[in-house]
Amino acid sequence: MLSDLSPLLLDLTGLDAAAIEALGIKTYNDIYLQTAHRGILKAHDGEDVYFYKNVGHEHALHKTILESKDTICPLRVQRVKWIKEFTQGNVAESECWLVLDKRGFEKRLYCSFKHGYVVWLSPRDEGWNFKSSYPVSPETIRRYIKREASLLCRFLLSGSSGQQQPSSQSDSASLRTVS
């Protein structure tokens, strides 16, 4: 279980925007894609998470400006390796929520107040599609989970050794704590 994500940050020192984008694309492709256009990883609960080249490049690496994803975002690029760790439940002090979308379906939100980061997944017939990820303030995370949302899981470190010790506690029918 990871409590310090800084070793996973990409070093962008001295890189211009084009080099940052190239590094982000290469890293995303290497981690998330098994073919030229698609990859599948497992979520913390064993469900499939589908990653697509075009969605990932746009939503994992670029910032939104007037509904356009054309500007590379160094903060997103630095954290591109975090997506996998969050969705697989490897980040201490993070949570997974189901959040009701305004269109009526539930999306998954992996988030951490400590790290100020979110990963969004959209439902599909089997499993989930990666939708977006980005750094965000704790206040924004609170706004996201104030909507109709239910907590699925908390990922915690237990014991002084800092080692992962998986366990399940039922605080409610939909809450699972992994420590």
- How many angstroms separate the CA atoms of 56 and 61, rounded? 7
- How many angstroms separate the CA atoms of 26 and 178, rounded? 32
Q: Where are the domains of the chain?
A: 6-178
**80-112 per-residue burial string, b: 16 or more CB within 10 A, e: under 16:** bbbbbbbbbbbbbebbbbbbeeeeeeebbbbbb
SS3 of residue 163 by DSSP: coil
Mean pLDDT of 19-39: 97
- The pLDDT, as a whole number, for residue 178 is 52
CB atoms within 10 A of CB 72: 21
pTM given for the model: 0.86
Instruction: Tell me the DSSP string of 57-110.
Output: HHHHHEEEETTEEEEE-HHHHHTTTHHHHHHTT-BTTEEEEEEE-TTS-EEEEE
Query: What's the pLDDT tens digit per position in 31-75?
Result: 999 999 999 999 999 999 999 999 888 889 998 765 556 789 999
Mention every residue, 6+ apart, whose C-beta is less than 8 A from residue 118: 109, 110, 111, 133, 134, 136, 141, 144
- The pLDDT, as a whole number, for residue 101 is 87
Query: What's the pLDDT tens digit per position in 120-176?
Result: 999 999 999 999 999 999 999 999 998 789 999 999 986 534 333 333 332 333 444
